[in-house]
A and B are shown apart, each in its own frame.
Chain A
Amino acid sequence: MNASFFALPELTLRFWPIWRRHLFVWWKVAIPSILGHLADPLIYMLGLGFGLGKIIPEMGGTSYLLFLAGGTLCYSTMNSASFEALYSGFSRMFHQRTWDAILNTPMTLDDIVLSEVLWGATKSLMSGLAVLLVIWLLGMAHTWLALWTIPLALLIGLCFAAVGLIMTALAPSYDFFMYYFTLVITPMMMLSGVFFPVEQLPAALQLVSAVLPLTHAIDLVRPLLIGDVPNEIVLHLMVLVAYTVLGFYISLVLFRHRLAK
């Protein structure tokens, strides 16, 4: 690897027209996209919440439906950013050659990768807002603290878009992403307390859980939806920020290497 690939990213507002491009594409498919953002959490929460909720009246000190709402908000935002960074990002980089077109203008790869992370986070924000709407529709919104989950959805999006882009930078084809979803994302859902409290896991798995970004996202979001101030806010935020920064830098170095060919 060339030393110049490791240069620190140049962060400027040049990403703006690229982000606008992504929004413009999204606008053309906005209706199915919004329906997807709404239907997915609605199905999970209605299905699992009302089904299991009958059997499990309470979990983590609250109703199972509300417990599940926090997990759902986090995994929905995680999924939105991950799909965007992996499948859509790969399509823009490789299949459609959108990045090649942009690189012929006064833009740099740093601008493009930054726009990808911010766009992934934008999709997470949309997804987070959709879950909040579902929570409100289901009559579970009873605290203004819940609104703090909106900026959190953006941060969770930044984190998973940045980490996901590492996969995109390494991927030879779309099939490669199956590894990430089956070996990383799905186990993370089970280990991070989406469906049940992390305390239910064996001690060794709890240690694994403690380093996963989704765990920290849920530790912030779930109390806010219930109406409590989360514990150890700074720690949780720092973990999410650290994954974001590292993911962004590592993926940028890998993209620089890949696109120098």
Chain B
Amino acid sequence: MNSPLEMTAMNAIITVNNLHKSYAGQRVVDDISLTIQRGECYGLLGPNGAGKSTTLRLLLGLTAPDGGTVSLLGHNVPGHAREARVRIGVVPQMDTLDPDFTVAENLLVYGRYFNIPDAEIKRRIPGLLEFASLSSKKDAMVPTLSGGMKRRLSLARALVNDPDVIFLDEPTTGLDPQARHLIWQRLRELTSQGKTMVLTTHFMEEAERLCHRLGILDHGRMIAQDTPQDMIRNHIEPQVVEVFGDNVEAWAAEYAQKFSQRHEVSGETAFCYVRDAQPLLEHLHGHAELRYMHRPANLEDVFIKLTGREMRD
């Protein structure tokens, strides 16, 4: 029987220690360490420019770090990233499909980059297309596909080598809710098949639904790492009452502090974070001019608390 520590070391698929990367003097990745276990779905959250995509590029060995180490499937990255990428699938943020090819041809041509024989790729294509709900689009040219179809084709393409680890950079950004839910469903299937996944996102719902564990990045630093449930439990009061109306600022100045553990006013809304909402709700019944919404705290509340409300561009 192995000790828990040894088990952890054995099952670690990705180990990152003290990773640093600067561009033009600006620290984009600042001392990031993380470990991802076999079968885990790990989400990297962060505002725009927090260093999510750069972290992914460093993990894949597409750019060299200024300091720190990355081990991916037992290979040192970037030195042996090429060997590691044999067992990896990547769904990039931007569409990188070949517009000159049909759906099936995209899979065939991509499989060849992994040195898979044509006959084997062609044997895999029907299954991949079915998984991506693209069987009827087999011979369609890429430019005729919708955004959701293109993203699903990117996902199918990332699976052509039956990878152990799948990297997804903002897999549902720019998709409508229907397309997003279909992607989520497919990603959950992959998790239940035991695939390890690393994804970046700024959709909290996506992170909460899909990820076993999360890391929140801000200004290139890892500011929190936990399961989605513990992230909420450990970082924030369990309930939120959002109060809105014309005179909410005046109301908040007078009462918010009294009824909540923590509060913030943003625009015309006061966010009151509370352990027990009852006294606040009773108080609000006496203020007809104010409307409110009472809900459990979610990951977005944690995210806003940790990274602030100001815009990032």
The answer to whether B85 and A105 have CB atoms under 8 Å apart is yes
Complex Cα gap A170–B94 (Å): 22
The answer to whether A17 and B113 have CB atoms under 8 Å apart is yes
With beta carbons under 8 angstroms apart, the residue of A96, A106, A108, A261 that contacts B115 is A106
With beta carbons under 8 angstroms apart, the residue of B60, B100, B114 that contacts A25 is B100
Which residue of B is nearest A96, CB measured?
Answer: B99
In the complex, identify which listed stretch (B104-112, B225-233, B257-265, B280-288) lies at the interface while the others stay far away.
B104-112
Complex Cα gap A97–B150 (Å): 14
> Which B residues touch A106, using CB under 8 A?
82-83, 85-86, 113-115
Q: A101-B96, A101-B97 are in contact. Are A4 and B62 (CB under 8 A)?
A: no
Which residue of B is nearest A20, CB measured?
Answer: B112
Complex Cα gap A104–B87 (Å): 11
Q: Mark A193-206, 1 if CB is under 8 A from B, else 0.
A: 00000000000000
The answer to whether A17 and B112 have CB atoms under 8 Å apart is yes
Chain A contact residues, majority secondary structure? helix
Complex Cα gap A204–B137 (Å): 62
Complex Cα gap A97–B86 (Å): 20
The answer to whether B112 and A104 have CB atoms under 8 Å apart is no
With beta carbons under 8 angstroms apart, the residue of A100, A105, A259 that contacts B114 is A105
Q: Mark A54-65, 1 if CB is under 8 A from B, else 0.
A: 000000000000
Is residue B92 within 8 Å, beta carbon to beta carbon, of the partner chain?
A: yes
A2, A18, A25 interface centre (most CB from chain B within 10 Å): A25
The answer to whether B60 and A104 have CB atoms under 8 Å apart is yes
Shortest distance between the CB of B267 and any CB in chain A (Å) = 37
Complex Cα gap A25–B98 (Å): 9
Complex Cα gap A18–B114 (Å): 11
> Which A residues touch B92, using CB under 8 A?
97, 100-101, 104
Number of interface residues of A (CB under 8 A): 24
Shortest distance between the CB of A21 and any CB in chain B (Å) = 5
The answer to whether B105 and A24 have CB atoms under 8 Å apart is yes
Shortest distance between the CB of A126 and any CB in chain B (Å) = 18
Complex Cα gap A21–B112 (Å): 9
Is residue A242 within 8 Å, beta carbon to beta carbon, of the partner chain?
A: no
> Which B residues touch A25, using CB under 8 A?
98, 100-101
Which residue of A is nearest B94, CB measured?
Answer: A97
Is residue B64 within 8 Å, beta carbon to beta carbon, of the partner chain?
A: yes
> Which B residues touch A260, using CB under 8 A?
63-64
Complex Cα gap A244–B62 (Å): 27
| Chain B: number of interface residues, binned into ranges | 20 to 34
With beta carbons under 8 angstroms apart, the residue of A4, A97, A259 that contacts B96 is A97
Q: A105-B85, A106-B82, A106-B85 are in contact. Are A100 and B94 (CB under 8 A)?
A: yes
The answer to whether A100 and B96 have CB atoms under 8 Å apart is yes
With beta carbons under 8 angstroms apart, the residue of A2, A21, A100 that contacts B64 is A2
The answer to whether B113 and A105 have CB atoms under 8 Å apart is yes
> Which A residues touch B82, using CB under 8 A?
106-108
Which residue of A is nearest B109, CB measured?
Answer: A21
With beta carbons under 8 angstroms apart, the residue of B98, B105, B110 that contacts A105 is B110
A20, A28, A101, A107 interface centre (most CB from chain B within 10 Å): A101
Complex Cα gap A206–B113 (Å): 47
Is residue A173 within 8 Å, beta carbon to beta carbon, of the partner chain?
A: no
Complex Cα gap A98–B142 (Å): 13
Which residue of A is nearest B161, CB measured?
Answer: A105
Shortest distance between the CB of B285 and any CB in chain A (Å) = 56
Which residue of B is nearest A102, CB measured?
Answer: B113
Q: Mark B279-311, 1 if CB is under 8 A from A, else 0.
A: 000000000000000000000000000000000
Which residue of B is nearest A5, CB measured?
Answer: B64
> Which A residues touch B161, using CB under 8 A?
105
Which residue of A is nearest B98, CB measured?
Answer: A98
Is residue B90 within 8 Å, beta carbon to beta carbon, of the partner chain?
A: yes
Q: Mark A239-261, 1 if CB is under 8 A from B, else 0.
A: 00000000000000000000111
Contact residues of B between 113 and 169, Cβ < 8 Å to A: 113-115, 158, 161
> Which B residues touch A100, using CB under 8 A?
92, 94, 96
The answer to whether B115 and A17 have CB atoms under 8 Å apart is yes
Is residue B95 within 8 Å, beta carbon to beta carbon, of the partner chain?
A: yes
Is residue A103 within 8 Å, beta carbon to beta carbon, of the partner chain?
A: yes
**Could you name 19 residue pairs across A and B whose Cβ atoms are closer than 8 Å?**
A2-B64, A17-B113, A18-B113, A20-B109, A25-B98, A25-B100, A100-B92, A100-B94, A101-B97, A102-B113, A104-B62, A105-B113, A105-B161, A106-B85, A106-B86, A106-B113, A106-B114, A107-B113, A108-B82
Besides A101-B110, A106-B114, 17 other A-B contacts (C-beta < 8 A): A18-B113, A20-B109, A21-B109, A21-B112, A24-B105, A25-B100, A96-B99, A97-B92, A97-B96, A98-B96, A101-B98, A102-B113, A104-B158, A105-B110, A105-B113, A106-B113, A261-B63
Chain A contact residues, CB within 8 Å of chain B:
2, 4, 17-18, 20-21, 24-25, 28, 96-98, 100-108, 259-261
